[in-house]
Amino acid sequence: MNRVSKDHVIYAMSKDNQPVITVEAGSQVVFETCDCFEDQIKTANTHFSELDWNRINPATGPVFVKGAERGDILAVRIDKIDHNSQAVMVTGPNMGVIGDQLGENVVRIIPVQGGKAQFSKEIEVPLNPMIGVIGTAPAGEAISCGTPDLHGGNMDCKLIKEGSTLFLPVNVAGALFALGDLHAAMGDGEVAVCGAEIAGEVTVTLSVIKDKKWPLPMIETDTHVYTLASEVQLDDAASTATRNMVNLLEQESGISKHEAIALMSLVGNIQVCQVVDPKKTIRFEMPKSILSKLKVSL
Ligand code: CA
Ligand code: CA
């Protein structure tokens, strides 16, 4: 089995990163991942001043996929997400949606066991393990692993989970794919700036799709297809994600823009992934039951 240990982390997605391993297209790869603090927080007594803030949002990789060429699409099927039994959260000034109202930094350790996260003595919350940072190298300037964009990155989308397939652009030879920043649980918006941050291990199958011009990134689940967009302003992210879905329907089914947008207005949903990263991420959801009537399949 191809395996990438968490000794190999990057802090930016870049065409200049040296690949850790090279794999055949269609291979399964296991990525061992640190949490978003690179596992620096072990207890609730960890002081913020002790943290090395240059080691935030590490992604494990990158992996070079043979045969992936610029203009292709990398299909990332998420086969399995395993995670540790302890998550961490931080809340504080200048973090998240109400950081201006928080006076001090608080570190919270969250035990994760039996399919639940123990938020407090009284409150346990369901798990929805997901991948926060996942992407390919951009063609131009390197992009910090903290920022989401066309290449993927820190999209913090809770549908990037076991069983989903994420479609990403191949911008450079080999794609240079990497991932990290697992969350054991997270709600849409990620309002505190973090989820239940946790280290773990992700198994994916990496495939290359040729000769398709899909609007990327996209996600396919058992029941839905999503176009994703990250922009500085949430409104812009909403319109880009919507335009991307219109483009997909037009291209793949041949229906008109008018028809596409009318149908999307009836059965499509704009949903928020996160509102706390340097760019904010929106997804547009369409049911596959409707897409199949249009003969759209990915
Ligand atoms: Ca994140
Ligand atoms: Ca995170």
Domain with residue 287: its CATH number is: 3.10.28.20
Ligand 1 centroid vs 146 CA: distance in angstroms? 7
Ligand 2 centroid vs 104 CA: distance in angstroms? 20
Amino acid 114: pLDDT: 92
CATH code where residue 169 lies: 2.60.120.580
Residue-wise pLDDT for 9-43, tens only, equals 999 999 999 999 999 999 999 999 999 999 999 99
Ligand 2 centroid vs 291 CA: distance in angstroms? 32
pLDDT at 46 over 90: no
To the nearest whole number, what is the mean pLDDT of the chain?
A: 97
Ligand 2 centroid vs 133 CA: distance in angstroms? 8
Same domain, 156 and 67: yes
Distance (Å) of CA 48 to CA 37, 51, 64, 91 = 11, 5, 36, 11
Ligand 2 centroid vs 252 CA: distance in angstroms? 34
Same domain, 186 and 41: yes
Of 209, 241, 261, which one is at a domain's C-terminal end? 209
Ligand 1 centroid vs 176 CA: distance in angstroms? 19
pLDDT at 50 over 90: no
Ligand 1 centroid vs 277 CA: distance in angstroms? 7
CA 106, 107, 111 angle in degrees (round to 5)? 140
209: tokens are 């799709």
Whether residue 31 lies inside any domain: the answer is yes
Amino acid 118: pLDDT: 98
Amino acid 69: pLDDT: 98
What residues have a C-beta under 5 A from ligand 2, the ion? 36, 132, 181
Ligand 2 centroid vs 275 CA: distance in angstroms? 13
Structural contact between residues 80 and 198, judged by C-beta atoms closer than 8 angstroms: no
CA 67, 68, 70 angle in degrees (round to 5)? 130
DSSP category for residue 186: -
Exposed (0-12), middle (13-18) or buried (19+): which is 194, by Cβ within 10 Å?
buried
Percent of the chain at pLDDT exceeding 70: 100
What is the domain count for the chain? 2
Same domain, 14 and 160: yes
Ligand 2 centroid vs 18 CA: distance in angstroms? 24
**pLDDT band per the 50, 70, 90 thresholds, residue 48:** confident
Whether residue 146 lies inside any domain: the answer is yes
Same domain, 135 and 44: yes
Same domain, 156 and 285: no
Percent of the chain at pLDDT exceeding 90: 95
What is the bridge-based pairing of β-strands 124-126 and 130-135?
A: unpaired
Whether residue 224 lies inside any domain: the answer is yes
Ligand 1 centroid vs 151 CA: distance in angstroms? 15
Of 209, 236, 256, which one is at a domain's C-terminal end? 209
Mean pLDDT value across residues 112-136: 97
Same domain, 149 and 285: no
Same domain, 241 and 141: no
Ligand 2 centroid vs 36 CA: distance in angstroms? 5
Residue-wise pLDDT for 78-89, tens only, equals 999 999 999 999
Same domain, 230 and 179: no
Same domain, 62 and 205: yes
Whether residue 119 lies inside any domain: the answer is no
The helix/strand/coil state of 99 is helix
Amino acid 53: pLDDT: 86
Whether residue 171 lies inside any domain: the answer is yes
Q: Which residues are CB-contacts of 51 (< 8 A; sequence separation ≥ 6)?
A: 37, 40, 41
Whether residue 246 lies inside any domain: the answer is yes
Q: Structural domain of residue 242, as residue ranges?
A: 218-293
Of 180, 209, 238, which one is at a domain's C-terminal end? 209
